[in-house]
Amino acid sequence: MHPRWLIVVGIITGSLIIIGSSIFIGGYFNAVGEEDASAIQQAGQRAVVDKCLKNNEIKDTVSDWCELIVHTAYQHEMDPLLIAAVIETESAGNADALSKSGAVGLMQVMPRDGIASQFQCINGPCFANRPSMSKLYDPVYNVTFGSQYLSGLIEHNDGDLREALRNYGPRDMGYTYADMVLSLYQRYQ
């Protein structure tokens, strides 16, 4: 069974993991075939999008992006509410946001060009391997890249969301940033 199904089950039921049911559901998906499993997954995603849209805690400017958030969350095996919390904290849902340090778009990703190109690390420009500003202004690209980056930080930090968020956010904010996102994330649930 693909781990993505645990996320579908977890989000729909309101708990993070249902170990006892995952074996049955995994067997069910194997029994119904790929087309039916895909339809079930799409229905699950639609239910999560609807839940995101109806969540009164999520600002309208962020809920406008629910479909993109949920789709990307499924791709990266993340909770869409965490991605929504990062987006609200970073840009308040403004896809054209540009920070004073040069971070771009919904998830405020540092690009390789613009102001961000001036940041120097030991081996040269800190963000030389990042996408350009023009790519990051595309909401789909921005949320995909930002979510993939955050997912990698979560994995690198052994699932510690607070530590991963500390590393995702502005360096000068540290745990304050992480705690802001986590507080919002809890409010959304």
Per-residue model confidence (pLDDT) at position 158: 97
Per-residue model confidence (pLDDT) at position 153: 96
Alpha-carbon distance 87 to 3, whole Å? 25
How many other C-beta atoms can be found within 10 angstroms of the C-beta atom of residue 159? 9
Per-residue model confidence (pLDDT) at position 22: 33
67, 77, 90, 155: the catalytic one is 90
Per-residue model confidence (pLDDT) at position 115: 75
Alpha-carbon distance 109 to 124, whole Å? 19
Give the chain's largest Cα–Cα span: 55
Active site residue 35: no
Residues in the chain predicted with pLDDT less than 70, given as ranges, are 1-34, 36-37, 126
- Is the distance from CB of 187 to CB of 57 less than 8 angstroms? yes
Alpha-carbon distance 181 to 109, whole Å? 16
Beta strands in 120-186 (DSSP E): 120-121, 124-125
Burial class (CB in 10 A: 0-12, 13-18, 19+), 57: middle
How many other C-beta atoms can be found within 10 angstroms of the C-beta atom of residue 117? 17
Q: Is the Cα torsion angle 19, 76, 87, 69 positive or negative in sign?
A: negative
- What CA–CA distances, in Å, run from 80 to 32, 50, 125, 151, 188? 27, 12, 32, 12, 10
Per-residue model confidence (pLDDT) at position 59: 92
- Is the distance from CB of 87 to CB of 93 less than 8 angstroms? yes
Alpha-carbon distance 175 to 188, whole Å? 20
- Helices and strands (DSSP H and E) totals, the chain: 10, 2
Alpha-carbon distance 177 to 116, whole Å? 20
